[in-house]
Amino acid sequence: MQIITDIKQMQEIGNNWSNSQTIGFVPTMGYFHKGHLSLVAEANKNCDITVVSIFVNPSQFGPNEDFSSYPRDLQRDLELLNQYKVDYVFNPTPDQMYPAGYKTWINVEELSSILCGASRPGHFRGVATVITKLINIIKPSLMFMGEKDFQQIVVLQTMLKDLNFHTQIHPCPIIREADGLAMSSRNVYLNSEQRQQALCLSLAIKQAQEQYKQGIDDPQILKKNASDLIIRAGGRIDYIKFVDSVSLQEVKQAKDDTRILLAVFIGKTRLIDNAALGSY
C-alpha cells in the first residue's frame, strides 16, 4: 500500500494504470468504520487496482459546521486498510486541492438544493467539485459509494452523466450497528444517552416499512407516525421525506421503491438515514 500525498504523482499513477487495468476508487473523509471498509472490500472484488482517498474536504462544510472538529485518525485508518488489498491511499492537503486563486465549482442544479442541500447550502457543490477533481486525478472506472448518503449518489450520478464522465458509481448497502444505527464517523459525537436516542432514525424507518407492508401507502400518514416516534425519543427533525428513488421528488403514493430519507438532530449532531420502503 503506497501513500500518495502529491496530486501530480497520483495523476501519473492513475494515467498509467487506467490504460490497462480497472481502477476502483473509494472516496472518503477518513475515520473509518465498517461502512467504509465494506466499500474497500467491494472495490477489491470488482477491480484490479484499489485506490482509497482520505480527504476531509473543506468545501463541503458550511461556515457553522464541524470541519475543524471532524474526527481524524490517519494512523488508525491506514492500519485498518492494511487488512485489504489497497494499492494506493491518496491523502492530499486542502492547500493542494484548493490553492490560492482557486475559482472553479460544479453545481448540479435542483438536486443539490433539496433535502440535505436545503439545510446545508453549498454542501453538494463542494462534494461535486471535489469528486470531479478526484476523478480527474485518479481516473477510476468505478467509484464505490455508500447508500447511507443516498442523495449524494443521485447528485453524483447526474453529474457523471451530464458531464460525460466514463466513471460509474457502484452503490453499496448501508452497514449498521447490531441495534440498527447506521454507522457514521459522526456517531463518535454522541454521549451514551444520545447514542440510545439515535436509534430513533432506524426505528422510524422500520416502522414506516412495517406500516407500508400493512397497506398504508399515504406518505402523510407514514410521515406523521415517523415524526411522532422521533419526537418522543428526543430527536429534532430536520426533514423526513418519502421520495422517488431516481428524481428525489416527493411522492403522493408510496411504492416498494419509494425511499424514506431523514435527517435528525440528536443534541447538536445531525444524523441521516434512509431505506426503500419495500426492502423490509
From 36, 123, 166, 170, the catalytic residue: 36
Check residue 229 for interaction with ligand AMP (CB under 6 A).
Answer: no
Question: Which of 49, 116, 174, 222 is close enough to bind ligand AMP by CB under 6 A?
Answer: 174
User: Could you say whether residue 184 binds ligand AMP (CB under 6 A)?
Assistant: yes
Q: How far is the CB of 85 from ligand AMP (least distance, A)?
A: 18
Residue 142 is a binding residue for ligand AMP (CB under 6 A): no
> Does residue number 140 form part of the binding site for ligand AMP (CB under 6 A)?
no
Q: How far is the CB of 101 from ligand AMP (least distance, A)?
A: 26
Under the binding rule (CB under 6 A), the answer on residue 201 touching ligand AMP is no
- The two most distant CA atoms of the chain are separated, in Å, by 57
Binding of residue 187 to ligand AMP (CB under 6 A): no
Q: What x-and-dash track marks residues 20-49 binding ligand AMP by CB under 6 A?
A: --------xx-----xx-xx----------
- One of 42, 77, 87, 149 touching ligand AMP (CB under 6 A): 149
CB of 150 to ligand AMP, least distance (A): 8
* Smallest gap from residue 214 Cβ to ligand AMP (A): 28
Residue 166 annotated among the catalytic residues of the structure: no
Q: Which three cell numbers stand for residue 127?
A: 462534494
- Residue ranges binding ligand AMP (CB under 6 A): 28-29, 35-36, 38-39, 145-146, 148-149, 172, 174-175, 182-185
Residues labelled catalytic: 36
